[in-house]
Amino acid sequence: MSLWLPTAPEQPAGEMENQTKPPDPRPDAPPEYSSHFVPGPPGTAVPPDAGYPGGLPMAYYSPQQPGTFPSYQPIGGTHPVCYQPGKYPVPSQPVPVTWMPGPTPMANCPPGLEYLVQLDNIHVLQHFEPLEMMTHFETNNRYDIKNNSDQMVYIVTEDTDDFTRNAYRTLRPFVLRVTDCMGREIMTMQRPFRCTCCCFCCPSARQELEVQCPPGVTLGFVAEHWNLCRAVYSIQNEKKENMMRVRGPCSTYGCGSDSVFEVKSLDGVSNIGSIIRKWNGLLSAMADADHFDIHFPLDLDVKMKAMIFGACFLIDFMYFERSPPQPSR
């Protein structure tokens, strides 16, 4: 006795293969969600990433694809917010330096001194060196020269080797180089070494500064005169002929007040200008960060303006350059 069992109808091989595959879990269309999000205008078309020819992989969102998270744009601007205020540090940027506009060349004026023709007041600001204060290692002095509008006029840099600076300290011979906004050296000031072992009234013990403008061409000299109680200098031309005098206070190390060095005529009657060392409080007493104000008439010969400018640095090195205390043995 034979049993008959029903059998499924024969199907093509292609349909059999389709039935053996698991069903696709992805729905044909995304489900409907109630959302309060109002889509904005569509963004510009962006080509797909080179690493993904078909577009971004799953789990990556692109602001240009519809239905994804929109990118935030601040109201009233086109640049996105880069840093949250007070949380992330903003990269430090150098402070821009404003230079005085360069004047046109003038007849009978050494090149580079055209700036001084337009000025009757300049400020000499010495750079503060914290490392020098902590280690007592003398470094090259640097100065910023500015006008009343806080515009840079010159930069003055000392050019002295380490041994000379730290062996001779305030008595060291030095070379100061004055550069303009183009980095050109327009003036050089040189102080030779003078021995102080001799009597103060001896000419070989008196300090002197030579000013060259342009470098290599002597413009004049600033010569010290011996005086019992105050600083006295002569401003001389290139032939060492006295042109003006500088007369300092009885106490150049005044504490709590400015030190005024008057620039006078040779007879001492006319007051031509002044070199004022400003008192900066505790910084003036403990560190080398001097501030000088130089005043002269606007119509004064520009060469004499440059000589008064040079006298300021000899005064600074002789009276206001601090020598660190020597260790006791």
3-state SS of the chain: helix, strand, coil percent to 5?
A: 15, 25, 60
- pLDDT at res. 328: 42
pLDDT at residue number 129:
74
> pLDDT per residue over 185-197, tens digit each?
999 999 998 766 5
Greater confidence, 113 or 61?
113
DSSP code at position 29: S
Res. 52 pLDDT band, cuts 50 70 90 = very low
Of 60, 78, 57, residue with least CA distance to 68 = 60
Q: Is the peptide bond before 324 cis (omega within 30 degrees of 0)?
A: no
Q: pLDDT-derived band of residue 210, with 50, 70 and 90 as boundaries? A: very high
CB count in 10 Å sphere of residue 295: 15
DSSP output for 87-155? TSPPPP-PPPPPBPPPPPP-TTS-TTTHHHHT-SEEEEEEPP-HHHHHH------EEEEE-TTS-EEEE
Q: Are 220 and 242 in contact (CB under 8 A)?
A: no
Architecture of domain 113-320: Alpha-Beta Barrel (3.20)
Q: What is the DSSP letter of 250?
A: S
Contacts of 90 (CB under 8 A, 6+ apart): 83
Domains of the chain, by residue range, sit at 113-320
- In DSSP terms, 293 is beta-bridged to 123, 276
Residue with tokens 């002929």: 241
Question: Taking phi first (over 0 means left), then psi (-120 to 50 degrees means alpha), and beta for anything else, what does residue 146 get?
Answer: beta
The residue among 48 and 139 whose pLDDT is bigger is 139
- 129 Cβ contact partners less than 8 Å away, ≥ 6 residues apart: 139, 287, 288
What is the rounded CA–CA span in Å between residue 189 and residue 221?
A: 9
Mean pLDDT of the residues in the chain: 76
Query: Is pLDDT at 9 greater than 60 in this prediction?
Result: no
Answer whether residue 103 shows pLDDT above 70. yes
55-59, 113-117, 214-218: which has the minimum mean pLDDT? 55-59
**pLDDT value at position 71?**
45
Tell me: the pLDDT tens digits for 112-154?
Answer: 999 999 999 999 999 877 666 677 778 889 999 999 999 999 9
Give the tokens for residue 226. 């011996």
* Per-residue pLDDT reduced to its tens digit, 150-182: 999 999 999 988 888 888 877 888 999 999 998
Rounded distance between C-alpha atoms, residue 186 and residue 272, angstroms: 25
**What are the structure tokens assigned to 185, written together?**
């050296």
In this structure, of 14-18, 290-294, 299-303, the range with the lowest mean pLDDT score is: 14-18
Element (H, E) at 302: helix 302-315
> Phi and psi at residue 273, in whole multiples of 5°?
-170, -160
**What does pTM read for this prediction?**
0.67
Which pLDDT belongs to residue 59? 43
pLDDT, position 152: 96
pLDDT band at 54 (very low <50, low <70, confident <90, very high): very low
Contact 318/194 with Cβ under 8 angstroms?
no
Q: Is the pLDDT of residue 88 over 50?
A: no
The band of 94, judged by pLDDT with boundaries at 50, 70 and 90, is: low
Over residues 232-253, the mean pLDDT reads: 90
